[in-house]
Amino acid sequence: MVVEDDPLDFGFFTTAFKEIPAQTELFNWPTVEGAVEEILQTACEIAVVDINLRDGSGIDVIREIRAHPRLGKMPLVALSSSVSDIDVSECYEAGVNAYVEKPLSMEKYRMFAKAFGTFWLESAVLPD
Amino acid sequence: MEESVSVQLFKAMRRPTLVTDDRGVILEANPAFLSTFELDSAKAIGQHLTDFLEPLGNWKAAGVNGLSMTYRHSGASSLAPSGRLQINRYESSGNSGFFIFIDSGTAFEAEEILTALSYIVENFPHPILIWGKSAELLKYNDAAKQRFVAISDLFHLGQDRQVLLTAARDRGVFGTNNKEHSFDQVLQLQYVTDKERGPLINELQAPDGTWHRVTAYFSPDGWGASFYEDISELRRAQSELSTRTREFELILQNVPDFVVVADADFRVNYVNASYEEATSRTRDSWIGERCLPDEDGDDGNDLEEMFISATPDSPSISFDEWMRVEDGGRRWIRWRCRVLFDGGERSGMIKIGRDITVEYEQEQHLRQQSSELAKKNESLERFAAVVSHDLKAPLRHIAIFADMVVEEVGKEHYEQLPQFAKHIQNSAVRMDGVIKRLLEYSKVAYKTVSRHHVPLSDIVVQAVQNLESQVENARAEILASDLPYYFGDPDLLRQLFQNLIGNAVKYCRPGQRPRVRIYCARESGNLQIFVEDNGIGIDPRYADSIFTAFRRLHKDETVYDGFGIGLALCKQIVDSHLGSIRLDTSYKGGARFVIELPLKS
């Protein structure tokens, strides 16, 4: 699940993830509100959360996921265009597994997708 | 028979007297004896001397010149149980015997007392002169003789008082610098025997510089005594003390601090000039007033109780207090007090106060500045985060679409290029918009607040004038009622109202004429300003985030175009006036903003 309110950014994401060998199904949700319900609905295994959302902060989504009885252990990656110390430390405190700056080129989007696939989808063992 | 003179004398003698023979058998007893022993003469004559009293000694050994010895007796109630008697031997026409003179006990005691007094006077270290009832010198001691050595030729018993004292003055035994009376008056006064007035006391200076206090007392009969006392040390100490006291008083009167001295009941008995001046009250008007603080201290302690329960181990109390001064202003006074104790009992209190208004205000000002600075830093940090995000997002898009253009061209696919170019264009426009708004924000955020007393109604009128075209296009109705003067920055306040009114006019309900009401109220030291509209209102969920909503600068512009920056600016302006702004979520008829601005300072 990609919680991202910028359709262009989600477009780059889709483009990059299509090119990796691992089979992925991407879902998009644009707001803080309803994000958790949508994850439950789609039964996603991993969530990538943009920190700047139109109706609030992605950190709230992260906290909500971590506090949820069924989603608490879900792998979470924070994504943001700003790399401010406060945001980074707040995100890790809220329980993200990684904080990633939004890639600045298509090439880097592809690298991100590839690395993401290799690590989270091939190497890492995910909780049930 | 005519009595001989000697018999008459015998009868008239006031001392009890007996005539006996050689063996002590009483031949005659005079009336004084008979009355003392309550006898008639028949009962006395022929009795033995020892039937009435017991001489303690060999009384028969008395020579012609007499023998004095003590006796005891128990027969006469009016007579002391012991006394003295004097025994003289006589021989007359072949008879011999004794004259026995008995001293009554009282007489004896008086003699003893006189002897003792005489001894005391003679050996007393200070000069004493005793005067007889005819103002003659009756007795003096060695110390007196030395003091009056300058007139030793006149200084002898029997000398007339006036002669003596006048000579003493004229020959400089004492100076004539008595301040209260001239010397003649002193002399005059010493003749006056007035029991009611008590002793005459004068202080005289001798030529050697020493000071002497003369205390004279006279009985109603004119008997008297003058007592001279060297009081040079005392006077030096007194003068030293009074000099110190004057110096001390001078210091107290001239220190800028307030000094208040109170008694054991905390009632004022002294205030210094600084305090008189600060309170515009004279010292006399303060005397007797209770001077405990009637309000609790900053830390909530009952100050009055602290004073009352002070002990010698913890006698000091400090507190700060506002004091009203005459011009209507207030001064901030820091008091340091000490309760005084004498033998464990509270005996008074000293309060010393210092006007710390300037320091206090500086401190307040510093605190205010640092809080302003903290707020500015906080918003700067937010600002930086927003700049980072809002500028980076379109920048990233430009970079990526440029990448994609390169890729597509490489693959010789051209059909998507116009779309990518459009995205690049849009991103650039968005960046431009963000930069413009950031500039607008920084103009307000970093403006130094320059405060004036301004009529808020004029400020609102100016704000509406600046929005003239929007207001006219929307046919908006703006109602501002009873807005007071406020001490604030006119430019910033105008911007505040301009943003709020602008929003209200912009977010009106379709087909409805916008109506904006601006009114105010006072509440606990704050000026509350309400800006209320009949527009589409704001979702209460966003009540907080609308004021910090930079991150929506570029998003949702279709709905909230320009909204975020306007309210963020409003918050910035209100913050810089140390106030607050909030959305009144209870209001349902549109949007109502409540601004609170502090009235003090």
- Quote the tokens at residue B368: 């205010």
Q: What is the average per-residue pLDDT within B271-284?
A: 89
Residues B205 and B212: their CA atoms lie apart, in Å, by 6
Q: Which CATH number fits domain B362-434: 1.10.260, 3.40.50, 1.10.287, 3.30.1370?
A: 1.10.287
CATH number at residue A81: 3.40.50.2300
Per domain, the residue ranges of chain B are 5-109, 124-235, 255-355, 362-434, 452-598
pLDDT in tens, B472-485: 888 899 998 889 99
Q: How far is A98 from chain B (nearest CA, A)?
A: 19
Tokens 């004029």 sit at which residue?
A: B458
Q: How confident is the model at residue B584 (pLDDT cuts 50, 70, 90)?
A: very high
Residues B168 and B174: their CA atoms lie apart, in Å, by 7
- pLDDT for res A115: 93
Residue B256 CB: number of other CB atoms within 10 A?
Answer: 11
- pLDDT for res B552: 47
pLDDT in tens, B209-254: 888 888 888 777 778 888 888 889 998 998 899 999 999 889 988 8
Assigned domain for A126 exists: no
Asked whether the beta carbons of residue A87 and residue B393 sit closer than 8 angstroms, the reply is: no
Which of A81, A102, A106 lies nearest to residue B404, judging by beta carbons? Answer: A106
Residue B515 has pLDDT above 90, yes or no: yes
Residue B192 has pLDDT above 60, yes or no: no
Percent over 90 (pLDDT), chain B? 21
Asked whether the beta carbons of residue B381 and residue A86 sit closer than 8 angstroms, the reply is: yes
Residues B192 and A18: their CA atoms lie apart, in Å, by 136
Assigned domain for A84 exists: yes
Q: Which CATH number fits domain B124-235: 3.30.450.20, 3.40.50.10860, 3.40.50.150, 3.20.20.70?
A: 3.30.450.20
CATH code, B452-598: 3.30.565.10
Regions of chain A short of the pLDDT cut 50: none
Residues B136 and B142: their CA atoms lie apart, in Å, by 18
Which of A52, A86, A107 lies nearest to residue B389, judging by beta carbons? Answer: A52
Residue B550 has pLDDT above 80, yes or no: no
B255-355 belongs to which CATH class?
A: alpha beta
- pLDDT for res B559: 42
The contact set of A with B (CB < 8 A) is 5-6, 8-9, 12, 52, 54-56, 80-84, 86-87, 102-107, 109
Asked whether the beta carbons of residue B551 and residue A6 sit closer than 8 angstroms, the reply is: no
Q: Enumerate residues 6+ apart whose C-beta is below 8 A from B427.
A: B394, B395, B397, B398, B401
Which of A55, A80, A105 lies nearest to residue B400, judging by beta carbons? Answer: A105
- pLDDT for res A93: 93
Per CB-CB distance under 8 Å, the chain B contacts of A102 are 392, 396
- pLDDT for res B290: 86
Hey, what's the torsion of the CAs at A30, A35, A38, A40, to 10 degrees? 150
B90 against B112, higher pLDDT: B90
Q: What is the average per-residue pLDDT within B554-565?
A: 48
Assigned domain for A36 exists: yes
- pLDDT for res B454: 92
- pLDDT for res A98: 94
Q: Which residues are paired to B90 by β-bridges?
A: B97
A106 against B108, higher pLDDT: A106
The fold for domain B5-109 equals Beta-Lactamase (3.30.450)
Residue B297 has pLDDT above 80, yes or no: no
- pLDDT for res B592: 94
CA B374 to mean position of chain CA atoms? 42
pLDDT in tens, B62-102: 666 678 888 888 777 767 777 788 888 888 888 888 888 88
Asked if A32 and A55 touch (Cβ cutoff 8 Å), the reply is yes
Per CB-CB distance under 8 Å, the chain A contacts of B542 are 55
Assigned domain for A11 exists: yes
Q: How far is B319 from chain A (nearest CA, A)?
A: 43
Asked whether the beta carbons of residue A52 and residue B423 sit closer than 8 angstroms, the reply is: no
pTM here is 0.46
pLDDT in tens, B340-359: 998 888 999 999 999 888 88
ipTM strictly over 0.90?
A: no
Q: What is the 3-state secondary structure (H, E, C) of B463-502?
A: HHHHCHHHHHHHCCEEEECCCCEEEECHHHHHHHHHHHHH
Percent over 70 (pLDDT), chain B? 88
Per CB-CB distance under 8 Å, the chain B contacts of A12 are 400
Assigned domain for A92 exists: yes
Q: Enumerate residues 6+ apart whose C-beta is below 8 A from A27.
A: A1, A2, A38, A42, A44
Asked whether the beta carbons of residue B399 and residue A104 sit closer than 8 angstroms, the reply is: yes
Asked if B250 and B273 touch (Cβ cutoff 8 Å), the reply is no
Q: What is the average per-residue pLDDT within B263-287?
A: 90
How high does pLDDT run on average in chain B?
A: 83
**Helix extents (H) in B152-200:** 161-170, 183-191
Nearest to A1 by CA among A36, A22, A27: A27
Per CB-CB distance under 8 Å, the chain A contacts of B384 are 84
Residue B198 has pLDDT above 60, yes or no: yes
Assigned domain for A128 exists: no
- pLDDT for res B180: 47
Hey, what's the torsion of the CAs at A36, A39, A42, A45, to 10 degrees? -160
Domain carrying residue A10: 2-117
- pLDDT for res B176: 55
Asked whether the beta carbons of residue A81 and residue B407 sit closer than 8 angstroms, the reply is: no
Assigned domain for A122 exists: no
Question: Which secondary-structure segment (H or E) carries A113?
Answer: helix A106-116
Assigned domain for A124 exists: no
Residue B149 has pLDDT above 60, yes or no: yes
Per CB-CB distance under 8 Å, the chain A contacts of B397 are 8-9
Q: What is the average per-residue pLDDT within B293-312?
A: 75
